[in-house]
């Protein structure tokens, strides 16, 4: 191997380590911010499981190696659901990451029905990378409806959530085929699960 090849190999290795280090730093930051939170599902799983799942969805299913996008996936609920300020994310992870997180952040000062409609209205206008992140988020949330649904949600409310999610995702299409196929698969599986549940509850 020529000397220049060795130098290139070392540089590439160092860059890879830096990327992994940044992702781990973000995972630790998110775990700390969500440390006292649990998911709404009946199993009450630690909240950090969700951003980890979204990040994995982007990397494994979406086949995306964009480090900042994966970091943003880990942090995507920190501003909205914790006391995290955008300035904290900017100082630790830079403007690109905080901009992505802000694109996924709902305005909690607004009523819930307005926030949900804004997600539909704004989905087509966010950046392509934010669309990928939102798509991965919706896949994970739709999947959880069948595997670990929120406590006390009626069958009708679960169906309404799926219909709303589909309206949002319809405005995100064209950014990542693998994730779009995965969403359709999860939607089909979850609807079939809910239908089976409903049929089983119908008295003979």
Cβ atoms < 10 Å from Cβ of 89: 25
Q: What is the dihedral of CA 5, 23, 176, 95, to 10 degrees?
A: -100
Whether the CB-CB separation of 66 and 129 falls below 8 Å is answered with: yes
CA–CA separation, 191 and 77 (whole Å): 26
Task: Examine the residue annotation and report whether 56 is marked as an active-site residue of this protein.
Answer: no
- Name the catalytic one among 19, 56, 81, 180: 81
Alpha-helical segments (H) within 34-152: 49-56, 67-75, 78-81, 86-93, 95-103, 112-122, 128-147
Give the residue from 65, 66, 63, 33 showing the smallest Cα distance to 47. 33
Task: Examine the residue annotation and report whether 77 is marked as an active-site residue of this protein.
Answer: no
- Name the catalytic one among 5, 66, 77, 80: 80
Q: Is 151 exposed, middle or buried (0-12, 13-18, 19+ CB in 10 A)?
A: exposed
Catalytic residue IDs: 80-81
């Amino acid at each position: 191997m020529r000397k220049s090849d060795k130098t290139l190999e070392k540089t590439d290795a160092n860059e890879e380590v830096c990327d992994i280090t940044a992702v781990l730093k973000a995972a630790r930051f998110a775990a700390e911010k969500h440390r006292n939170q649990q998911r709404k599902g009946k199993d009450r799983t630690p909240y950090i499981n969700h951003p980890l799942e979204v990040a994995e969805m982007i990397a494994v299913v979406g086949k995306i190696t964009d480090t900042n996008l994966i970091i943003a996936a880990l942090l995507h609920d920190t501003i909205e659901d914790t006391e995290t300020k955008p300035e904290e994310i900017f100082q630790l992870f830079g403007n690109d990451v905080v901009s992505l997180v802000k694109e996924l952040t709902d305005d909690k000062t607004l009523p819930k029905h307005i926030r949900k409609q804004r997600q539909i209205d704004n989905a087509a206008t966010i950046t392509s990378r934010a669309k990928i992140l939102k798509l991965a988020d919706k896949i994970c949330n739709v999947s959880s409806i069948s595997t670990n649904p929120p406590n006390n949600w009626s069958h009708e409310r679960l169906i309404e959530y799926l219909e709303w999610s589909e309206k949002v995702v319809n405005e995100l299409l064209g950014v990542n085929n693998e994730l779009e196929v995965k969403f359709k698969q999860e939607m089909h599986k979850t609807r079939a699960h809910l239908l089976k549940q409903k049929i089983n509850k119908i008295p003979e």
